[in-house]
Amino acid sequence: MTEQPNLTGLVMEDGSAVPLSSNSYQKSFLKWAGGKFKVLPRIFSALPAGQRLIEPFAGSAVGSLNAPFALAIASDSNRDLINLYQSVAAAPRKFIEEASALFAPKY
């Protein structure tokens, strides 16, 4: 297998970098039927070398979040799901603030 580009971090909207551990995968904030998290090593080892991953059935988008490529494109036929991802990508802190209101504080 040829070596693929290594994703070393995510860049947030404010330009700050969030490093990713090379020994672990990031879980998605969504639970999704048919999730691929447990089989990511097997999926990634079977992919050819390249510069981008196109994930046609994104679901929780765990493949795109952890892709060992310079670019990952997530797609899904569920328009609401794609709108959610676009909203989170555009304003992650706003999403976190609004979603946190849905959870009871710890006591």
Could you list the pLDDT tens digit for every one of the 107 residues in the chain? 443 334 444 444 455 444 444 457 888 888 888 888 888 888 888 888 888 889 899 999 998 888 888 898 889 999 999 999 899 989 999 998 898 888 877 66
How much is the pTM?
A: 0.63
SS3 readout for the chain: CCCCCCCCEEECCCCCEEECCCCCCCCCCCCCCCCCHHHHHHHHHHCCCCCEEEECCCCCCHHHHHCCCCEEEECCCCHHHHHHHHHHHHCHHHHHHHHHCCCCCCC
